[in-house]
């Protein structure tokens, strides 16, 4: 687990390094705002396609080979980004990067392989903490390397730094990480493409699996919408710029890492994953509502603490619940389905929140998010279909 944590952390730092770079890089090639939006969405679209494929493939050939190949592909995408000379090369680099990012489902499947049902949520939380830390350090490093002047930004150094970090993660994967699936388990899942799609249809036919995927989609949909519209809201509400928003999201990232890395496992053992999803959904709904009513910094900090705590409780708990629906060797496929659901939410959520912001006003994305999370809370406390029931503590 420590090795996987380090691999995911290093990989996510590399991804985060690119975040502050891309919009300016697109403008460097005279891309319009709409084209830059497509550039940003390309990564999520290809990740949506690859997540279930790579997850299920890892059930057949093992987690380590899939992680290794995808890390090598990610490193190659950053090299292409570093030496891009035309706009289409940026799109190609992000498309390849998104395809390789489907490996996150494999990382979660690895966690499911090496944990017991009792400590599954703790393991998922630890990998979630690696995400949080990666998103804290990555954008900061990328911003420093690119420079403060958007007209004379250094596009190459951040991309080369991301390449170096992915290469480091690849070396760790090849030399330190141990395979988590035995040959016998892999052999049971050695099906062809038709078998893989048949497995997806069977998984989606399970009402418990569908319910968990819907809750995962909605929670991520709300959080992604908040991320997209918050900077516009804070500028209108407090006159903030990028620096203040950067500090606040670093605060959210630090809370996320702390809660997922240290608290989720203990809370899940004490109360069970379903109760944790319900409580986290309620907290996220409260936080979204408080954002809309924040007229002072202290109230906004309370709101963002509730948002960070709620989302940090919901996501690893849902991943843990989902992993309990299938036998050990099929974890990759199931985590791939979950990753596709949350990736689609990150494609649709920002568009929905932005449209509501423009049509109804700056506070309405947060009102809508609160209503959606109340619905998720009600889903979590409803009677669970037999196939999705968990053993309560």
pLDDT at residue 285, rounded to an integer: 97
Q: What is the H or E stretch that residue 220 is in? A: helix 207-238
All residues at 6 or more sequence positions from 126 whose CB lies less than 8 Å from its CB, including other chains? 1, 5, 111, 260, 261, 265
pLDDT at residue 357, rounded to an integer: 86
User: At how many degrees (to 10) do helices 156-175 and 63-82 cross?
Assistant: 160
pLDDT digit string, tens, across residues 263-315: 887 888 888 888 999 999 999 999 999 999 999 999 999 999 999 999 989 98
Out of 40-49, 196-205, 287-296, least confident range:
196-205
Judged against a pLDDT cut of 60, whether residue 197 lies above it is answered with no
All residues at 6 or more sequence positions from 202 whose CB lies less than 8 Å from its CB, including other chains? none
CA distances, 334 to each of 222, 232, 233, 241, 346 (Å): 22, 36, 36, 40, 19
Average pLDDT over residues 3-26: 73
Q: Are 74 and 93 in contact (CB under 8 A)?
A: no
pLDDT at residue 198, rounded to an integer: 60
| In the chain, where the domains are located | 2-176+205-382
Q: Which CATH superfamily is domain 2-176+205-382 in?
A: MFS general substrate transporter like domains (1.20.1250.20)
pLDDT at residue 243, rounded to an integer: 62
Average pLDDT over residues 8-12: 76
pLDDT digit string, tens, across residues 63-116: 899 999 999 998 999 999 999 999 999 999 989 988 887 677 788 778 877 887
pTM of the model: 0.69
SS3 content of the chain, % helix, strand, coil (to 5): 85, 0, 15
Spatial CA neighbour of 49 closest among 59, 41, 37 = 41
């Amino acid at each position: 687990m420590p090795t996987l944590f380090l691999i995911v952390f290093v990989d996510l730092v590399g991804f985060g390094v690119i975040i502050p770079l891309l919009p300016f890089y697109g403008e460097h090639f005279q891309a319009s705002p709409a084209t830059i939006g497509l550039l940003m969405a390309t990564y999520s679209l290809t990740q949506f396609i690859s997540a279930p494929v790579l997850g299920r493939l890892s059930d057949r050939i093992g987690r380590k080979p899939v992680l290794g190949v995808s890390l090598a592909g990610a490193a190659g995408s950053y090299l292409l980004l570093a030496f891009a000379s035309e706009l289409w090369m940026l799109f190609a680099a992000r498309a390849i990067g998104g395809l390789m990012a489907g490996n996150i489902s494999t990382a979660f499947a690895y966690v499911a392989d090496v944990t017991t049902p009792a400590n599954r949520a703790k393991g998922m939380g630890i990998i979630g903490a690696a995400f949080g830390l990666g998103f804290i350090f990555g954008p900061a490093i990328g911003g420093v390397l690119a420079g403060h002047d958007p007209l004379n930004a250094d596009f190459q150094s951040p991309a080369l730094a991301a390449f170096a970090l992915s290469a480091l993660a690849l070396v760790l994967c090849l030399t330190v990480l141990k395979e988590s699936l035995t040959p016998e388990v892999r052999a049971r899942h050695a099906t062809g493409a038709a078998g893989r799609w048949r497995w997806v249809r069977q998984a989606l036919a399970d009402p418990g699996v569908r319910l968990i995927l819907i809750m995962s989609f909605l929670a991520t949909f709300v959080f992604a919408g908040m991320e997209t519209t918050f900077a516009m809201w804070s500028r209108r509400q407090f006159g903030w710029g990028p620096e203040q928003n950067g500090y606040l999201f670093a605060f959210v990232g630090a809370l996320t890492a702390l809660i997922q890395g240290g608290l989720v496992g203990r809370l899940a053992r004490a109360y069970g994953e379903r109760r944790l999803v319900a409580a986290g959904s309620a907290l996220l709904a409260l936080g979204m509502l408080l954002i809309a009513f924040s007229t002072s910094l202290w109230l906004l900090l309370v709101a963002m603490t509730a948002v960070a705590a709620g989302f940090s409780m919901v996501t690893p708990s849902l991943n843990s619940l989902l992993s309990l629906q299938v036998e050990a060797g099929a974890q990759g496929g199931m985590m791939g389905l979950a990753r596709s659901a949350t990736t689609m939410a990150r494609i649709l959520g920002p568009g929905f929140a932005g449209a509501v912001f423009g049509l109804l006003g700056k506070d309405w994305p947060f009102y809508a998010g609160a209503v959606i999370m109340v619905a998720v809370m009600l889903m979590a406390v409803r009677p669970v279909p037999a196939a999705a029931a968990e053993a309560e503590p």
